[in-house]
Amino acid sequence: MQYGCIGEHLTHSFSQEIHRQLSSYDYILHEVAPDDLDAFLTKRGFQGINVTIPYKQAVMPYLSFISEQARAIGAVNTVVNKDGELYGYNTDFGGMCALIRHAGISLGGKKVLILGTGGTSNTAYAVATHLMAASIYKVSRSGRDGALTYDKALSDHTDADIIINTTPRGMYSREEGMPIDPLKFPNLSGVIDAVYNPLRTPLVLRALSAGIPATGGLYMLVMQAVIAMEIFTNTTCPPEKAEEVYRRLLTDKENIVLTGMPGSGKSTVGKRLAEKLSRPFIDTDEEIVREAGTDIPTIFREQGEKAFRDLETAVIKKLSSLTGAVIATGGGAVLRPENVDYLKSSGRLFFLNRPVEQLVPTDDRPLADSIEAIKARFCERFVTYLTTADTAIAAGDTPDAVADAVQRSFFE
């Protein structure tokens, strides 16, 4: 291959899309099993590669040259083949510095906890030092090599100002959940997560819910790719182009999620939006019916509402791995906080606020099959619809007009 990215699991990598927007060279994703790494690097059948989990340190013995910065960090994520000699660099440093600045989070004079002890944690330590953090502690499950254990961090270091996550916790196809609860740290003024897929990990969502500035690693991914491209091609990328690539990637990957009352037009508007934007369309109620093998009224009648809600959560969790889709949710989907988190992990929520007098009862909606039921549900849920949505859209107009309004808001 000419250029590409190597790692053990690259199913959810965005690197190929980024590099193809940055330059015209051929760039591919190449999964390498641990037993095949030696043969791959010995053959040297590439001009330049990015290196990701778990090979940022494993590639180093194969290199004839390692940049001072990469050597200090102890990890290489970019390798260039120069006449058969392999040169190693670390572009994660510049990418993480750019991410922190882009998020508007200051590390100067702050106490920083770095979660994890792998190659990216070394980068985070170097970045925190560079940005003048007052004190820096690594945190790991084992507490080896001078790191704090998570229990120790929670007992003795809850005065930390900044948390930087460099573990795979919260990454799609890896471990679910949060490595630590940010709400246990009352002084917290920023959370940085190197994970970029999903766009917002549970750690980031938890921090944002408490008003703590927090960001995932997508901007870091783009900026380290920009630096790698500059090394590959010996050119300079204009800052405005890098920002454009980031904005385009974020827009392309973010789901458009429609919430609201039964009968508010979520499915109709969603289909129009998907057609306009050439995106896949998913209706969570249709997915539930497919999973259950029967219609929703039958699920309610034979198994009860809790069974339906449990199935709805399972479906939404599965759909949360999607990117770039239009998703229409059931009327009660946002009643469970975990559903909201799954939907927001890579989606922006739009509440279609259709006037209650325009909502029409139908037999296929067990909790909204009469005017009285609709009015009751509207009163019960209205505040939840508003507080869980990123944007409320007036939805009393035609489906095309509402779809246009959602589209305008999404691209603003």
Q: How far apart are CA 22 and CA 218, in angstroms?
A: 15
* DSSP per position, 177-230: S-SS-GGG-TT--EEEE---SSSS-HHHHHHHHTT--EE-SHHHHHHHHHHHHH
- For the stretch 322-338, pLDDT in tens is 999 999 999 999 999 99
pLDDT of 262 higher than 80: yes
**Can you tell me the mean pLDDT for 286-308?**
95
Q: What is the structure's pLDDT at 104?
A: 97
Q: How far apart are CA 410 and CA 404, in angstroms?
A: 10
Q: Rounded mean pLDDT of the chain?
A: 95
**Can you tell me the mean pLDDT for 47-62?**
94
Give 168's Cβ-side CA count (13 Å radius). Answer: 11
pLDDT of 364 higher than 80: no
**Whether 113 contacts 167, CB under 8 Å:** no
Domains and CATH numbers, the chain: 3-89+224-235 (3.40.50.10860), 94-216 (3.40.50.720), 254-411 (3.40.50.300)
- For the stretch 112-145, pLDDT in tens is 999 999 888 999 999 999 999 999 999 999 999 9
Residue 109, C-beta contacts closer than 8 angstroms, at least 6 positions apart: 132, 133, 134
pLDDT of 390 higher than 90: yes
**Among 43, 56, 82, 241, the one annotated catalytic:** 56
pLDDT of 172 higher than 90: no
Q: What is the structure's pLDDT at 368?
A: 78
Residue 394, C-beta contacts closer than 8 angstroms, at least 6 positions apart: 353, 402, 405
pLDDT of 363 higher than 90: no
56 is catalytic: yes
Instruction: Give the percent of the chain with pLDDT over 70.
Output: 100
Q: What is the structure's pLDDT at 3?
A: 97
Number of H helices and E strands in the chain, helices first, is 16, 17
**Can you tell me the mean pLDDT for 16-42?**
96
pLDDT of 403 higher than 80: yes
